[in-house]
Amino acid sequence: MIPEGGDGLKEEDKGIARKALEMPPFIVMDILEKAQGMEARGADIVHLEIGEPDFPTPEPIKEAAWRALKEGDTHYTHSLGKPELREEIARHYHKKYGVKISPEQIVVTSGTSPALLLTLSVLLEREDEVILSDPHYACYPNFVRYTEGRPVFVPVREEDGFKYRVEDIRPHLSPRTKAIMVNSPANPTGTVFSATDLKALSELGPYIISDEIYHGLVYEGREHTILEFSDRAFVINGFSKLYAMTGWRLGYVIAPPPFVRALQKLQQNLFICAGSFVQAAAVAALRECDEYVAEMVRIYDARRRYLLGRLKAMGIATQVEPTGAFYALANVKKYTRDSYSFALEILEKTGVALTPGIDFGRNCEGYLRISYANSLENIKEGLDRLERFLEEKSGATR
């Protein structure tokens, strides 16, 4: 294990550890681990911090994995992924979005994080730039820096539903701009980009990297893939969120054909391939789980509507309602400009675990991210506790 701050490392070893040492902590994990420590000491914790489905993996997926194991499907697969799975992914994108992609454009990976790491590795040279919104998923800038690129942050506004304005991006474009990162539905904001939004972004010139991991978790209107508007795009997607398969670790990247061989060679060297029986399970997810997904989406939406109503009543709702993923931001700027300390205080005094906005960028300071990937009963209890805490805060400042 690398010592925090590098203490105890020999000078010649510090360069090896530098990238890991320079990464900021993933704050939501700090909150989770503190909450778990409190639970171990007997505290009653309501978890509204973690972005993980609370549903079990659907039965057809588990059954397909079990069949694959019994049949001895435990060996290396093709480095791009099983042909059957890649064909099913291509069929899914054609059926849902009307786009035609070749299975040969798809690289199946052990989760979406490896998919993004491979994509940035083949796309970026040292000091190449990637446009990121602020707020953004906490790990994006770390991935860019790890692959020796430079993240360029474009603030997005609450009144716009935290979506890019094209006119705000243009001044940040340079000869070194390789890509614009889009996450729709978005973490942490729950924002869903419209067809008009995505088309406008695709016309700016750089490649688009579209993180579509929350596709399917949309409660008003529908989501669009960037592939409807551009073939100069990399799609990052997977099975963790929509199919409640976070622990299965399976994702994929859909890439422009000229990049596939480079992605494949990196995959061969770094990861070899994704798990064989997990890929068999993913085929079942795409073929057999529409009804399971529809029921999960129905329940998420009921939770979302309840949460948004409570946030409005507390006076901390954002101006534009989130319509995707399973997150909402609470605007607590009237109480604090230090969301990390505020979240810790809430956790220690109420037992409610929330994610500080600062985890998602400077422009998210003064917000808390609330995940509604928990039961309605637990969400109600957590919000009751939060409301009492805020009422006491308001009384103390009068």
Each residue's pLDDT tens digit, 221-240: 999 999 999 999 999 999 99
Rounded CA-CA distance 223/172 in Å is 27
Rounded CA-CA distance 382/377 in Å is 9
Half-sphere exposure of 30 (CA within 13 A, CB side): 13
- Provide DSSP, 264-294: HHHHHHHT----HHHHHHHHHHHHH-HHHHH
Q: What pLDDT is attached to residue 28?
A: 85
Q: Is it the case that residue 291 has pLDDT exceeding 70?
A: yes
Q: Which pairing describes strands 177-183 and 207-211: parallel, antiparallel, or unpaired? A: parallel
| pTM of the predicted model as reported, rounded to 2 decimal places | 0.93
Phi, psi angles (nearest 5°) of residue 46: -105, 115
Task: Place 5 in a pLDDT band, splitting at 50, 70 and 90.
Answer: low
Average pLDDT of the segment spanning 48-59: 96
Task: Place 317 in a pLDDT band, splitting at 50, 70 and 90.
Answer: very high
Task: Place 3 in a pLDDT band, splitting at 50, 70 and 90.
Answer: very low
CB environment 20-29: b (16+ within 10 A), e (fewer): eeeeeeebbe
**What's at 388, amino acid-wise?**
R
Q: What pLDDT is attached to residue 2?
A: 36
* pLDDT 10s digits, 21-49: 565 667 888 899 999 999 999 999 999 99
- Provide DSSP, 235-250: EEEESTTTTT-GGG--
Q: Is it the case that residue 73 has pLDDT exceeding 50?
A: yes
Rounded CA-CA distance 224/195 in Å is 6
CATH of domain 59-289: 3.40.640.10
Q: Is it the case that residue 373 has pLDDT exceeding 50?
A: yes
Percent of the chain exceeding pLDDT 90 equals 90
Question: Of 239, 325, 264, which is closest to residue 60 (Cα–Cα)?
Answer: 239
Could you tell me the two tokens for 58? 């659907």
Phi, psi angles (nearest 5°) of residue 304: -60, -50
Q: Is it the case that residue 1 has pLDDT exceeding 50?
A: no
* pLDDT 10s digits, 108-130: 999 999 999 999 999 999 999 99
Q: Which residue has the higher pLDDT, 242 or 6?
A: 242
DSSP code of residue 221: S
Helix ranges, the chain (H): 11-22, 27-40, 59-70, 83-97, 112-123, 140-146, 166-169, 195-202, 257-270, 276-288, 290-314, 339-350, 376-397
Task: Place 167 in a pLDDT band, splitting at 50, 70 and 90.
Answer: very high
* pLDDT 10s digits, 183-208: 999 999 999 999 999 999 999 999 99
Rounded CA-CA distance 225/188 in Å is 19
Homologous superfamily of domain range 4-56+292-392 = Aspartate Aminotransferase, domain 1 (3.90.1150.10)
Domain ranges of the chain: 4-56+292-392, 59-289
Place of tokens 């979005």: 97
Q: Is it the case that residue 18 has pLDDT exceeding 90?
A: no
Q: What pLDDT is attached to residue 24?
A: 64
Q: What pLDDT is attached to residue 396?
A: 65
Task: Place 93 in a pLDDT band, splitting at 50, 70 and 90.
Answer: very high
